[in-house]
Amino acid sequence: MGGDLRPAPVHHHRAQPGVAEEHHVLGAGKPQRLICQIEDVTARKQAEMLAGERQLFLGALFESALDAVVLMDSRGLITGWNHQAEKIFGWERNEALGRSMHETIMPLRYRGAHLQGMERFLENSEDKVLGSRIEITALHRDGHEFPVELTVSPITTAAGYEFSSFIRDISGRRAIEERLQLAALIYQHAAEAMIVTDAGNNIIACNPAFTRVTGYTFPEVVGRSPRMLSSGRQTGYFYRQMWQALLANGRWQGEIWNRRKSGEIYAEWLNISVIRNPDGSVHRHVALFSDITEKKQFEEQILLQANFDPLTQLPNRRLLHDRLEQEMRKADRSGRSLALLFIDLDRFKEVNDTLGHHVGDTLLVETAKRIGSCVRESDTVARLGGDEFTVILSGIGDPRRIERVSEAIIETLGRPFLLENETIYVSASIGVTLYPEDAESVSGLLKNADQAMYAAKNKGRNRFCYFTPSMQEATLERHHLIGQLREALAGNQLEVHFQPIVEMANGHFSKAEALLRWRHPERGMVGPAEFIPIAEETGLILDIGDWVFRQAADRARQWIERFGHPIQISVNMSPAQFMSGANHRAWLEYLDEIGLPGECIIIEITEGLLLHADAGVAEQLTMFRSAGMRIAIDDFGTGYSAFSYLKKFDIDFLKIDRSFTSGLAGDGSDLALTEAIIVMAGKLGLQVIAEGVETLAQKHLLASVGCHIGQGYLFSEPLPTDQFELLLQSMLEPAGG
């Protein structure tokens, strides 16, 4: 049997068509070779008889083999090529026969190695067994490559060796294998935890992510129910619903709280699918879940940010709207009113501008706390932004509760705030409106409360005010006024009046304060207290301020020229003008242009401006000073009265506020204070001017404590230009002249 591939059992039987035998003869249609020499001479005759049949049979077998069968001679030329070979390689038998096998079915890059292998085989006569199965890449006629499993067997013939190759296309199998591998990989490396349970819901598999999330390893969970993870946060009802849906739809997904091995509770997004047997019974449950605790926390944070003020932790405007809506519905049901309080700090902006935003912030936080201490747990305190707070008082049975709460808030906010070593006094103005009495909507209530708050401010601040319908008119009026003020400047409705600042001993004066007036076409003369705040809010103050300055400078120059008398005009400047970022260099250029020396202008500022004085403010003051202009502190004594700032900024005049002057005749404390201020000012080289001098008594008291310059109705009211000129003239004309 020589080197035949397989031992050859020889059966002495009649070949039965259709019965497979092991054969040793391969026929390939045309060149058929007998590869098995039957030695048994006694059987030769029988064999010869069978040979014809057998060849036919083998031929059929060769053709119908599921594998491609390729025969090759020792030169590497194809000598056999079955039907399956035609199918998987794309070459017809008659094309393939006689071609080089390597060139026909192997990609170029493998041919060398293959040829070498064959040569080695032929040289090495000892080991002639090649038959192991290998997987290689084969080449189709159209150039595409595909994986095959190959078994090559040498066949010994009289002429030497030939080779038979059984080749199986395994691309399909590969694809399945790869898919399985991928599935296993995903299972192992998935970020999502997975468990598989059997029909009885006992865990039969889990992946590493499961261990990461829950802390349990496979041996700890195998055979157990996933219930072992439950946190107790979901009700039995929840699980019943879940199972119902799962069995009805084949899957369920949702959020659920479970417990880790460590005891920690976490949120997961769970996705369960049921896998059924062909008969419809449950085979497996596959549960996939991911830990969404962080995501939940993040969402909560977002929700918090969307609804709460980060500074004070109070509900913000948005949440206030929701709450107000809810409380209104509650009020509808209970028949009890609710009150909406709108709280605004008086002079908060001043604190913020002068002491800095961090102090402002601390003040707001403290304010929130103080307001919170005045209300019930069930009431809502919210911050609308800036220094605006609101309170919803619900279930009002006794209206006196509204008053009590409002008064308590005013009282608590009126107490000093000690912030960063500064004692700060702020007060609050509160507007109150009622539901359902005053308005039916959230926006209506907010508007009412806002208007009532403005009314409280206008009445002198530090008080509360109920909404009345007439307030609506006042607000409309205000809006109206803004529009009109825009036109006032262009329409020549503004004028500057002048009030002399006199030497009280002899009534002489060489200073006057420029005070703005609005000659309103319908309302007559309107005072600055009414429209300067609007001008500041709308930014109109910049244009108006420019105009006042030029008017003052023009007049000063004319009077000096006309009367030959030195005169200084005092011009008021709002903090808003300093803070706007506008550069007042143009003012200096204007003085140059009209030829007025800088010392003829005094700039009046409030002390609050100095307290905060950032680089911009300091720079502008220095600019004014270096142009020769003088600086006065207006309304001194009403704010911080901090002398240290005066020293730092090179101030010339201190104007003692009218409230001191009017209090001089009282219990003596104002007199003492005024004297102290005058002494301090003298030490700092400042001149003191008393504001609001109305009586002779005040004039004498001021003189007694060393104040010799004053301004007030006692000497003259602020006068229009022509009248002021008459006053000036009469002063300059020699008595009796």
How far is it, in rounded angstroms, from Cα 11 to Cα 31?
25
Smaller CB separation from ligand C2E, 332 or 717: 717
Smaller CB separation from ligand C2E, 208 or 528: 528
Secondary structure class of 622 (helix, strand, coil): helix
Smaller CB separation from ligand C2E, 406 or 572: 572
Q: What angle do CA 650, 653, 657 make, to 5 degrees?
A: 130
- Shortest Å, Cβ 360 to Mg ion: 25
Within residues 677-716, the interface with Mg ion by CB under 5 A covers 691
- Shortest Å, Cβ 533 to ligand C2E: 9
Smaller CB separation from ligand C2E, 371 or 633: 633
Q: What angle do CA 49, 50, 52 make, to 5 degrees?
A: 90
Interaction of residue 713 with ligand C2E, rule CB under 6 A: yes
CA separation (Å) from 219 to 210, 224, 288? 12, 10, 19
The binder of 24, among ligand C2E, Mg ion, none, by C-beta within 5 to 8 A per type, is none
Contact criterion met (CB below 8 Å) for 380 and 432: no
- Shortest Å, Cβ 656 to Mg ion: 9
Burial-class residue 633 by CB neighbours within 10 Å (0-12, 13-18, 19+): buried
Contact criterion met (CB below 8 Å) for 611 and 642: yes
Within residues 556-575, the interface with Mg ion by CB under 5 A covers 572
Strands (E), 277-421: 282-291, 337-346, 380-385, 388-396, 417-419
Calculate the CA 403 to chain-centre distance: 40
Token readout for 284 is 């497996």
Interaction of residue 577 with Mg ion, rule CB under 5 A: no
Residue nearest to ligand C2E (CB): 712
Q: Which helix or strand (DSSP H or E) is residue 255 part of?
A: strand 251-259
How far is it, in rounded angstroms, from Cα 704 to Cα 672?
11
Place of tokens 């609007």: 534
User: Which residue of 438, 604, 607, 670 would you call a contact of Mg ion, by CB under 5 A?
Assistant: 604
Q: Which helix or strand (DSSP H or E) is residue 85 part of?
A: helix 83-89
The binder of 79, among ligand C2E, Mg ion, none, by C-beta within 5 to 8 A per type, is none
Phi/psi of residue 202, each to 5°? -100, 135
Q: Mark the segment that binds ligand C2E (CB under 6 A) among 180-188, 416-424, 555-563, 710-718.
A: 710-718
The binding track of 99-138 with respect to ligand C2E, each residue x by CB under 6 A or -, is: ----------------------------------------
Place of tokens 């680089």: 615
- Shortest Å, Cβ 560 to ligand C2E: 21
Interaction of residue 637 with ligand C2E, rule CB under 6 A: no
- Shortest Å, Cβ 634 to ligand C2E: 5
Helix/strand/coil percentages in the chain, nearest 5: 45, 25, 30
- Shortest Å, Cβ 572 to ligand C2E: 4
How far is it, in rounded angstroms, from Cα 604 to Cα 516?
13
Interaction of residue 607 with Mg ion, rule CB under 5 A: no
Q: Which helix or strand (DSSP H or E) is residue 59 part of?
A: helix 44-64
Smaller CB separation from ligand C2E, 389 or 509: 509
Written as one letter, the residue type at 349 is K
Q: Mark the segment that binds Mg ion (CB under 5 A) among 484-492, 578-586, 631-639, 727-735.
A: 631-639
> Looking at residue 77, what DSSP letter applies?
B
User: Which residue of 58, 78, 363, 515 would you call a contact of ligand C2E, by CB under 6 A?
Assistant: 515
User: Which residue of 331, 446, 516, 688 would you call a contact of ligand C2E, by CB under 6 A?
Assistant: 516
- Shortest Å, Cβ 604 to Mg ion: 4
- Shortest Å, Cβ 329 to ligand C2E: 47
CA separation (Å) from 727 to 507, 565, 660, 711, 720? 11, 13, 27, 14, 11
Place of tokens 């991911």: 290
- Shortest Å, Cβ 562 to ligand C2E: 23
Within residues 154-183, the interface with Mg ion by CB under 5 A covers none
User: Which residue of 584, 634, 646, 727 would you call a contact of ligand C2E, by CB under 6 A?
Assistant: 634
- Shortest Å, Cβ 721 to Mg ion: 18
CA separation (Å) from 455 to 399, 450, 460? 20, 9, 9
User: Which residue of 309, 438, 635, 670 would you call a contact of Mg ion, by CB under 5 A?
Assistant: 635
- Shortest Å, Cβ 371 to ligand C2E: 31
Interaction of residue 712 with ligand C2E, rule CB under 6 A: yes
How far is it, in rounded angstroms, from Cα 296 to Cα 293?
5
How far is it, in rounded angstroms, from Cα 699 to Cα 364?
43
- Per CB under 5 A, residues contacting Mg ion are 572, 604, 634-635, 691
- Per CB under 6 A, residues contacting ligand C2E are 499, 515-516, 527-529, 532, 545, 548, 572-574, 604, 634-635, 658, 691-694, 711-713, 718
